Amino acid sequence: MVILPKALKIKNRYILIDFFDEEKLKNDFIKYFGYINYYDLHLNKIEINKRIILSINKKHLYKIIFLLYLQNIKNFKIFKTLKGAKSFLNIS
């Protein structure tokens, strides 16, 4: 197994939201930014207590914020670490 230097690792940001349509987000992202950017996005979804944490590549953070506004989702919070998101939800 090859260990990557820190400069080459994917830096993630975590977005905490109440709900979203995953299929619509995927289709809108491909429509506006293309397939290559979608696969570079590294979108992961974590569901905790009826809330959703999206893990995305830091480079595409503003693109996802733009798409969330298109879906009329304006209540979200962005975290640098997953630990910060969990502490916001009071999960041990």
The verdict on residue 56 lying in a domain is yes
Q: Is 62 strand, coil or helix?
A: helix
**pTM for the model:** 0.84
The verdict on residue 63 lying in a domain is yes
Q: Which domain holds residue 62?
A: 12-80
> Rounded to an integer, what distance in angstroms lies between the CA atom of residue 68 and that of residue 81?
20
Angle between helix axes 22-33 and 61-70 (nearest 10 degrees) is 120
Q: Count of domains in the chain? A: 1
pLDDT values of the chain reduced to their tens digit, one per residue, 92 residues: 788 888 888 889 999 999 888 899 999 999 999 998 888 888 999 998 888 999 999 999 999 999 999 989 888 899 999 889 888 888 76
The verdict on residue 86 lying in a domain is no
36: domain CATH number is 3.30.70.260
